[in-house]
Structure 1
């Protein structure tokens, strides 16, 4: 029986080198943070907690970013910041949980980053950050930092209620129109988050996060990205759909020709 030209073309495509390539994972950019004693002193504020950083990570090839949610004193404002204190910002050094968003001479609002790639950017509220992510069309992976226990697990019912409203109200407003993923490394916060999100019918915001394959411990200046090549290869070969990385531009470049 004669084989049609169309069938030969399909067979050729199926056996071509590109057909054997795995699907490229979505990249989630993460700002590397030093380890060890006094790590905060070496922090270069690489975290995508502001619109300038969001656009930079997107330009590097990220489809999403991992960012950091804190709460100011008594849970009065959910803000996007990673350090326990205002280290890395202008103004007197204070713990985030000890200051108000806009009141007092140590207020967080209006302070600007004083080092690193995003020097001059300010601190944004969670709602403002979500708007920037929606505008960029990016997926937001949001870590609720352990320091938020001060208000999210407060014995004062009014503080606790207000704090959770600061976290979950912006999510309720936006999760149907943009992908938002919430998580915490704190087990008590994770349990409370799960209960409250489930009660609100928003369990979808607890799933869909990336894998974190990298083996390097971040430092300043950064260790060579090549230390992660074997881990990246294993993640790609395992069929990972989403991969988080501290090396967004390098990982994006490394993927070229290895996936489609």
Structure 2
């Protein structure tokens, strides 16, 4: 190697590793990380861990318009919503708890309630605590339209509580239509992904909506267990970095606003 070649090589190394005057010492490292493509960010909502989490739940899930507005303002590209079924599978609705915990009226399981009929029906109830107090429960069709109007990707979790209805020979056909028809009607006009933590429901989704399965999308990126009041986002940063280093196409987080701000300078 000639002296000139060695000098050019050294100059290249210096240009890459030495930050410009006035920049913090870590700036070069951040610039290098920026070569990673930015993932799409899916907003979750946060649900307490530990014993009796429903007692501390502040109903932060993006299952209503005000929550969708917040997620959009915080920089979300998509949101994860929760699909439940009312009595006999007659209505697909957006709610995360097994029961009406966090809603007005007598506590009952969602699967025991009619949507609009009878005293204490689900449609007439509203949220009683947390940032979205006063909001009501929305149908799957309503929610998908709201998500689309905000330019967000819809990620649907079909909750395990729906399995006894979806697997019941008497109600299964109508119940699956309540879930599948709104998706089929809209999938050509908006991006919709589906999944379930229940293995039987997940297998059925693979048969009914094979091209919409979540798969490796929306990889979970937080490491701090959610609690109320929310723990500091800073406990997540080491795990956020390790997940980002794997260049995921999309991630899911309870800390949408903080995660979006943290991403700046770390991806492109």
**Which SS does the other structure have where 1:109 is aligned?**
helix
Q: What SS does the aligned partner of 2:230 have? A: coil
- 1:204 pairs with 2:211: yes
TM-score with structure 1 setting the length: 0.88
Matches within 5 A, 1:140-219: 140-156=154-170, 159-197=171-209, 203-207=210-214, 209-219=217-227
C-alpha separation between the residues in 1 aligned to 2:194 and 2:214? 8
Query: In 2, Cα distance between the equivalents of 1:80 and 1:227?
Result: 30
Conservation of the 8 A alpha-carbon contact between 1:48 and 1:57: yes
Q: C-alpha displacement at 1:259, in angstroms?
A: 1.7
> Quick check: 2:83–2:156 contact (8 Å CA) kept in 1?
yes
Q: Highest Rg: 1 or 2?
A: 2
Secondary structure in 1 matching 2:124: coil
Residue of structure 2 aligned with 1:250, choices 249, 258, 263: 258
Unaligned runs of 5+ in 2: 1-11, 20-27
Aligned to 1:6: none
- Return the alpha-carbon distance in structure 1 between the equivalents of residues 165 and 260 of structure 2: 38
Of the three residues 43, 52, 68, the one matched with 2:66 is: 52
Using the TM superposition, give the Cα deviation of residue 214 of structure 1 relative to its aligned residue in structure 2, in angstroms.
1.6
Q: How does 1:1-260 map to 2 (within 5 A)?
A: 21=34, 22-156=36-170, 159-197=171-209, 203-207=210-214, 209-260=217-268
Counterpart contact for 2:33–2:266, Cα < 8 Å: no
Alignment TM-score, normalising by the size of structure 2: 0.86
Displacement after TM superposition at 1:196 (Å): 2.3
Alpha-carbon distance in 2 for matches of 1:43, 1:138: 25
**Aligned residue-pair number:** 241
Query: Secondary structure, in 3 states, of the residue corresponding to 2:54?
Result: helix
Structure 1 segments unaligned to the other structure (5+ residues): 1-10, 198-202
Runs in 1 of length 4+ with deviation above 3 angstroms?
15-20
